[in-house]
Amino acid sequence: MSDQKLDISEDAVYDALRECYDPEIPVNLVDLGLIYDVKIIDDWVGVKMTLTSPGCGMSGMISQAVRNRVMRIPGVKDADVRIVWQPAWSPSMMSDEARRKLGINA
């Protein structure tokens, strides 16, 4: 079985991350613009992301939820989530649909 390799795609990772939410905002992390980068090396996935505020007390819970969800992607054996603050997040990073859902005009 060890010679059977599952290709992990960036699309699969982003699709999985669309199931992760900031508990205070009813929009997924991808549409909020919080996911800055995804790296895939063999069966390892790294996610670089930010939060809407550096003072967010939910950072540990959110990053753990992201890691847990990525680990459920077939073929992923390890995952790391790094929270960064540069560039600083702003509402302009949200998708059009997210802005509509939250009633924010672009």
pLDDT in tens, 24-60: 899 999 999 999 999 999 999 999 999 999 888 889 9
- The CATH number for 11-88, chosen from 3.30.300.130, 3.40.50.970, 2.40.110.10, 1.10.3470.10, is 3.30.300.130
Beta strand pairing call for 78-83 and 35-41? unpaired
Query: Of 80, 102, 105, 87, which is closest to residue 21 (Cα–Cα)?
Result: 102
Tell me, what's the pLDDT at 2?
A: 44
Measured CA to CA in angstroms, residue 67 lies from 29, 31, 74, 97 at distances of 13, 18, 14, 25
Cα(4)–Cα(47) distance, rounded to whole angstroms?
A: 24
- Structure-model confidence comparison of residues 104 and 37, the more confident one: 37
**Per-domain residue ranges of the chain:** 11-88
In this prediction the pTM is 0.89
